[in-house]
A and B are shown apart, each in its own frame.
Chain A
Amino acid sequence: MKKEDVPQDESNIKAANYKELCYAVDEDGNYTTVNSTGWTPKAIALNNAIENINERVEEAKTRVLNNQTSPIEYYMEFHKMDVGILASYVGLWKWRVKRHFKPRVFNKLSKKTLQKYADVFNVSIAQLKDISLHGN
């Protein structure tokens, strides 16, 4: 890549006023570094990934409201986690976390276990039990 070809596109990092460093060759063929404000293919990939996460959050929300899953799954998606990551944050086995997705099991959880989840998600137990309180 030539120095003048280093992309300076609109992107999420540009919006946040960041610049990243790229390696490129100058007129004499020597390597140098240039700051870049971003590149469209990356911006699209990132935006798609974010949309994807938002979709997953919305889906989880609907399923919580229909009583098909517990609020834990909603909060997990909200924090961009998967079961493995959540399990290591709360310090439980994966199968136990998955089991806690069942509303029937979730409703019987001890205060101690609920508190673990609440701490990881940075919410109160009331918010953990009722996702409509989330963000208030």
Chain B
Amino acid sequence: MEIKFTHHQSAHCENGVVSNLMKHHGFQISEPMVFGIGSGLLFCYIPFLMVNHAPAITYRAMPGFIFKRFAKRVGIKIKREKFKNVKNAKQRLDDNLKNNNPVGLQVGVYNLMYFPDEYRFHFNAHNLVVYGKNNDTYLISDPVMEHVTTLTDKQLEDVRFAKGAFAPKGHMYYPTFIPKEMPLEKAIIKGIKHTCRDMLAPVPIVGVKGIRMVARLIRKWPKKKGAKVANHYLGQIVRMQEEIGTGGGGFRYIYAAFLQEASVILNNPKLHTLSKEMTHIGDLWRDFALDASRIYKNRSGKTDGYNNIAAQLDHIANKEEVFFKTLKKAIK
């Protein structure tokens, strides 16, 4: 069986799944709109979580939060199911497909066979949509892929029950109630307020303060950790910033696209100007990544290089602090 489902590629998996599901249910909600209303933008340094042997930095809200917030703010009800038992998980998925209901799944990337080998590492917060099944093959719409793809029974089971941090436990979700009309104005304002609050939070590892903290750490790394580890950490920052499904610079551009769309809906020209400013901040993040890559390309342990990119981060932090303060005022 196959549900009529239109696949659109997106820059980030969770936004993409939500946007594709909304489009399937007849609402033209773009990826940036989902990201903005769901307050996806964030910066958080998580020292106690090691990913690929380096401390984790996230540029986005916790997996699942974007959809949760989006749903609440536009009045959608979603059902989420997690499973202990592999068979039940499969049964519930098949039932939904039989009822013509495409569902979102949280999966691990390591066993995701259609990803290039180099991208298959233990990351458990990837999202995709299942929209049908032919015999033992599931039809998959993975929003970061250009086209739809497939997974066998066993392959899907492996990724749904991947283990480690954020283990998906078969996590499946789908809307159970969608309002007839979806006014976005209030939702947009709530989304923006939330993001401003997060980015300006008085917590040392979150938002603007988090960026400054990472800048301080970068200055210390070459002396404290040695050139090799410092290089590795830096490479990880750039990967978490720019790689598929994550993205710091990339996320800033999505947010800028959201502000542009929001300025039209709210009829607020200030947001249009702020969108341009956010694009500029996104460019700064990319310059940071480019300069950081020069350091780890040459495997340099020279402190000047590290001090230089740390200064760039401080500059970004200052810019973002001003930006989110202005944004908060702009929607009052």
Contacts and interface: CB of A to CB of B under 8 A. Distances in A.
Interface of A: 1, 12-13, 15-16, 18-25, 29-31, 33, 35, 39-42, 44-46, 48-50, 52, 79-82, 84-85, 88-89
B296 A46 contact: no
A112 to B, nearest CB: 19
A46 B243 contact: yes
B192 interface: no
15 contacts: A12-B116, A12-B118, A23-B254, A23-B257, A25-B279, A31-B261, A33-B11, A42-B242, A44-B235, A45-B236, A45-B293, A48-B296, A52-B232, A80-B122, A88-B167
A32 to B, nearest CB: 9
B110 interface: yes
A48 B233 CA distance: 11
Contacts of B50: 82
Given A1-B279, A25-B279, A41-B293, A46 B53 contact: no
Interface in B94-146: 110, 116, 118-119, 121-122, 144-146
A29 B256 CA distance: 11
B289 interface: yes
Given A22-B253, A31-B260, 10 more contacts: A1-B253, A18-B116, A21-B10, A40-B293, A41-B242, A41-B293, A45-B293, A49-B232, A80-B52, A85-B163
Contacts of A24: 253
The 4 closest A-B pairs by CB, nearest first: A41-B293, A31-B257, A16-B116, A85-B164
Nearest to A85: B164
Chain B, interface size category, equals 35 or more
Interface of B: 9-11, 32, 50, 52-53, 110, 116, 118-119, 121-122, 144-146, 163-165, 167, 231-232, 235-236, 238-239, 242-244, 249-250, 253-254, 256-257, 260-261, 275-276, 279, 282-283, 286, 289-290, 292-293, 296-297
Contact of A41 (B254, B282, B290): B290
Main secondary structure of the interface of B (DSSP, over half): helix
Contacts of A16: 116
Contacts of B275: 31
A49 B260 CA distance: 36
B235 A45 contact: yes
B86 to A, nearest CB: 14
Contact of A48 (B145, B231, B244): B231
Contacts of B116: 12-13, 15-16, 18
